[in-house]
Chain A
Amino acid sequence: MRYFKLFRGNNSEGEMKDYRIEVEKGMVVLDAILRIQAEQENDLAVRWNCKAGKCGSCSVEINGKPKLSCMTRMNEYDNDETISIRPLKTFPVMRDLVTDVSWNFIQNKKIAPFKPDPSQKDKNGNYRMTQEDVDRIQEFRKCIECYLCQNVCHVLRDHDKRNKFIGPRFLICLASLEMHPLDTTDRIPDIKNDFGTGMCNITKCCTDVCPEHIQLTDNGIIPLKERVVDRYYDPLKWIWRKLVGEKILRLFPS
């Protein structure tokens, strides 16, 4: 017998309810939740889909830690430990363990899409990239949009700066576009002003919770911050641009 506490309720009210169920070897937390749903609480709302850590729908907070419930094995916890499961804190609860993460979809739409330069096509009409250029941005494409990083980031979670900060998931999306060798759009002004790289204080919780082990902070956000420094804060670069002139510099992209 294992002990569980599950949040039951909605955005305005709710409580933690106790459950006891039998678990078998090899079960993950999502299995336990689904067993509680099947055997004791048929109207329990829980979102899941692939049970393989690839769809990103089963994000919850297990004993206070943001995690994918389908990738969290029961044997991570002691036998006599009560496992408490709550919905993501940063987003409004729709019901029980299901949160409304649609704010994230709105953020995604704010990002200027990939725009390659057609003159870069080869003679067969294809865009080509070499492996080393693919490698760097490939890491960000592993994202499964579980929004655990958006949920844990204190800028959104504790300070509620949604109007000033797009969140780590979308900063790495921006990084993958900005670092793309074929892309031609300049997003640096938006990254600084609207998407708020300056709001991130690089405390790395997004990296800590990412189930895909994406190095969001080190490989995505900090490189973006450095690019923003190039444009807005580096005094020598600023003088250099004034001396040489923006137009001439644009002829020689790095």
Chain B
Amino acid sequence: MSKSSFAETFRTDRWWLEPLLVLIGLSAFIIYSTWSAWQGQYYWWSGGSEGFGGYLSPFYSPPLFIKEGIPGTPPIWHAWFGPWPDWLYDFKYLPASPAWLILIFPLSFRFTCYYYRKAYYRAFTGAPPACAVGAIPRNNYKGETGLLVIQNLHRYTMYFAIVIIFILTYDAMLSFFNDGRFGVGVGSIVLLINPILLGAYTFGCHSFRHLVGGSINCFSCSKSSRVRYKGWRFVSFLNGKHQMFAWLSLFWVGFSDVYVRLVSMGFITDLNTWGV
């Protein structure tokens, strides 16, 4: 057997297309989400009302602290722990953005997700770039036994991701109100689809599948294992579409932020039943 050099292959098809699209897609998301988290403003819209209801960008949810007097931020009652404290960052180049406080949760979840691992190992680290295409040569390839052993904690990031789905579901509900009045806007629909796609992604997680029923050997042996079998079947169904929901939910989270931001900045007008 002769060792191959990077990207060496006899394949004649466009094997580089998929890793290239992944590279572009993930890079675009990382750049946009970093920029958006940096802003610290225009992540909320409620047409000026202070009452119950409004659109909150998912990148900023939950807002642990809110700095008052900044355009496009929610009323202070929305902050989990009150106004922005003095001891937290608030500089010219690092504005008081609550997004940084929570971004680690979805970020670590997707970073350690089995699907994304496949995607970026291929597209970003060339290990391997595509099947039967030479991997970037490494003197001592360790797989996930070296530094990457950290990936084994994926299930812990999943626990937080499930909590966040409930929070985003609350945000979706919130978006159907304006100043306490029920109604529907384009933003409500956008923010409703968001937790649905995220749920389809999160509940198809491999670690969740293991937790629900994958860890048992005998599905038929007890009452509880029969119930878990049913759950496992459902999670397995979502798991089979995990890649699709990974991309759909990623896109939609970004799109929700773009939408709320543009409405909040006044670039576009939200069509809604409140007439605000």
Contact present for B210 and A223 (CB under 8 Å):
yes
- Known contacts A63-B13, A132-B229; A226 and B217 CB within 8 A of each other: no
The CA-CA distance from A222 to B204 in the complex, in Å, is 13
List CB contacts (< 8 Å) of A170-204 with chain B: 178-181, 183, 196, 198-204
Q: Which residue of B lies closest to A228 (CB)?
A: B152
- B272 on the A face (CB < 8 A): no
- Known contacts A64-B11, A226-B206; A200 and B220 CB within 8 A of each other: no
Q: Which residue of A lies closest to B216 (CB)?
A: A254
List CB contacts (< 8 Å) of B132-177 with chain A: 132, 134-135, 137-138, 141-145, 148-149, 152-153, 155
- Known contacts A154-B135, A223-B210; A63 and B128 CB within 8 A of each other: no
- A8 on the B face (CB < 8 A): no
- Known contacts A132-B229, A199-B143, A202-B117; A229 and B152 CB within 8 A of each other: yes
Contact present for A201 and B221 (CB under 8 Å):
no
- A146 on the B face (CB < 8 A): no
Count B interface residues, CB 8 Å: 46
List CB contacts (< 8 Å) of A118-167 with chain B: 129-130, 132-133, 136, 152, 154-155, 157-161, 165
Q: How far is the CB of B255 from chain A (nearest CB, A)?
A: 27
List CB contacts (< 8 Å) of A15-74 with chain B: 61, 63-66
Q: How far is the CB of B247 from chain A (nearest CB, A)?
A: 16
Contact present for B215 and A230 (CB under 8 Å):
yes
Residues in chain A near residue B144, CB distance under 8 A:
198-201
Q: Which residue of A lies closest to B9 (CB)?
A: A64
Q: Which residue of A lies closest to B125 (CB)?
A: A201
Residues in chain A near residue B3, CB distance under 8 A:
158, 160
- Known contacts A159-B138, A203-B122, A254-B215; A234 and B155 CB within 8 A of each other: yes
Of the listed residues A180, A208, A225, the one surrounded by the most CB atoms of chain B closer than 10 A to its CB is A225
Contact present for A152 and B214 (CB under 8 Å):
no
List CB contacts (< 8 Å) of B198-230 with chain A: 206-207, 209-210, 214-221, 229
Query: Size range of the interface on A?
Result: 35 or more
The CA-CA distance from A84 to B145 in the complex, in Å, is 37
- Known contacts A63-B13, A92-B1, A154-B135; A198 and B149 CB within 8 A of each other: yes
The residue from A181, A202, A203, A218 contacting B217, defined by CB atoms under 8 A apart: A181
The CA-CA distance from A120 to B31 in the complex, in Å, is 58
The CA-CA distance from A229 to B145 in the complex, in Å, is 12
A–B Cβ pairs within 8 angstroms, 9 of them: A65-B132, A89-B1, A154-B135, A157-B4, A159-B141, A180-B217, A199-B143, A226-B207, A229-B152
Interface on B for A, CB 8 Å cutoff?
1, 3-4, 9-13, 114, 117-118, 121-122, 127-128, 131-132, 134-135, 137-138, 141-145, 148-149, 152-153, 155, 206-207, 209-210, 214-221, 229, 239-240
18 other A-B residue contacts (CB within 8 Å) besides A90-B1, A130-B219: A61-B10, A64-B12, A65-B11, A65-B13, A132-B220, A133-B219, A136-B219, A152-B131, A154-B127, A158-B3, A159-B138, A179-B217, A181-B219, A198-B144, A203-B122, A223-B209, A226-B206, A228-B152
